[in-house]
Amino acid sequence: MNGRFAPSPSGDLHIGNLRTAVLAWLLARGTGRGFVLRVEDLDRVRPGAEQRQLDDLAAVGITVDGPVVRQSDRRESYAAAIATLAADGRVYECFCTRREIQQAASAPHAPEGAYPGTCRNLTEAQRASRRAEGRRAALRLRSDARSFTVTDALVGEFTGVVDDLVLQRTDGVPAYNLAVVVDDGFQSVDQVVRADDLLASTPRQAYLAGLLGVEIPEYVHVPLALGPTGKRLAKRDGAVTLRDRLAAGQTVSDVRAEIASSIGVPSERTRESLSDLASHWSLDLLPREPWFVLGH
């Protein structure tokens, strides 16, 4: 079984992304798992970003087992998963605009953050009428749960909203929540390490995994890296990518040591390789508060 890192090639990885990748790698190696990489390129892709990301991961010492998987190569797998759900009566067309969903979801009776089911029980005539108006349909899951509970290694039990989540967008692109579940099953991922801002979406993914017969992984949602203002780390915060740091005179070893220090590695050991760190680092050492990064 495997741990994984799954970046989107929309730009260079910042030091917070690299930190999450290091944590995922250390936890996988420390628990005897393989480690796989997936490029989530179904959405915004910046030319050259994927190779720069792969180069940066290799530079800090992250090794990968097996070939890199790209979501753009796996559309047939997502279509097959939707077909499986549809055969069970679990898929329906949704013609709602984003504004209509926001307005309906703000009603007093609607669970916070949940799709209110506007299109769930449309008749065929109603669906045909919307198509005739030129409306394009997304595909949604017909869920039979309103919430689902997952267990996280840091947070403990977490119960979140499960609604009729989108499986395929109106432009025909598979939705993230579907693709990530299908791909984790394909790559034998049973340990998911990612930033804790993604925790809220995890019950939806775990519920969907159960419907698709995919093993629900062990989750570890780690504290975010934040910029000096307390907002999520971004390019606006200065020299936050590996290339930025190298251009400013730092070495790869300096950056890796900074990351190691941020995850609780004792100061006398921060210069060790990731392979050496994996032999003695454990999740117990990880600080539970966000990591504030100062741009250099």
Q: Is 94 annotated as a binding residue?
A: yes
> Is 259 a residue whose pLDDT tops 60?
yes
Q: In this predicted structure, what is the pLDDT of residue 230?
A: 87
Q: Is 176 annotated as a binding residue?
A: yes
Q: Is 114 annotated as a binding residue?
A: no
Residue 50 C-alpha from the chain's centroid: 16
> Is 209 a residue whose pLDDT tops 90?
yes
Residue 232 C-alpha from the chain's centroid: 15
Architecture field, domain 76-178: Alpha-Beta Complex (3.90)
- pTM value? 0.93
Residues recognised as catalytic: 235
Q: How far apart are CA 16 and CA 51, in angstroms?
A: 18
Handedness of CA 283, 289, 37, 162 (dihedral sign): positive
Q: In this predicted structure, what is the pLDDT of residue 149?
A: 98
Q: How many residues does the structure list for the chain?
A: 296
> What percent of the chain is predicted at pLDDT more than 70?
96
Q: In this predicted structure, what is the pLDDT of residue 260?
A: 98
Residue 18 C-alpha from the chain's centroid: 14
CATH topology of domain 2-72+223-292: Rossmann fold (3.40.50)
> Is 190 a residue whose pLDDT tops 70?
yes
Q: Is 115 annotated as a binding residue?
A: yes
The answer to whether 8 touches 60, Cβ cutoff 8 Å, is no
Helix then strand then coil, % of the chain, to nearest 5? 40, 20, 40
Please state the domain extents for the chain: 2-72+223-292, 76-178
Q: In this predicted structure, what is the pLDDT of residue 238?
A: 81
| Residue 27 phi, psi dihedral angles, 5° rounding | -70, -40
The per-residue pLDDT for range 140-188, each reduced to its tens digit, is 999 999 999 999 999 999 999 999 999 999 999 999 999 999 999 999 9
Candidate ranges 42-46, 175-179, 236-240; pick with highest mean pLDDT: 175-179
Which of these ranges, 9-18, 83-92, 235-244, has the smallest mean pLDDT? 235-244
Q: In this predicted structure, what is the pLDDT of residue 295?
A: 59
Handedness of CA 256, 220, 192, 179 (dihedral sign): negative
Q: Is 142 annotated as a binding residue?
A: no
Average pLDDT over residues 192-212: 97
The per-residue pLDDT for range 105-148, each reduced to its tens digit, is 655 555 666 898 999 999 999 999 999 999 999 999 999 999 99
Average pLDDT over residues 276-288: 95
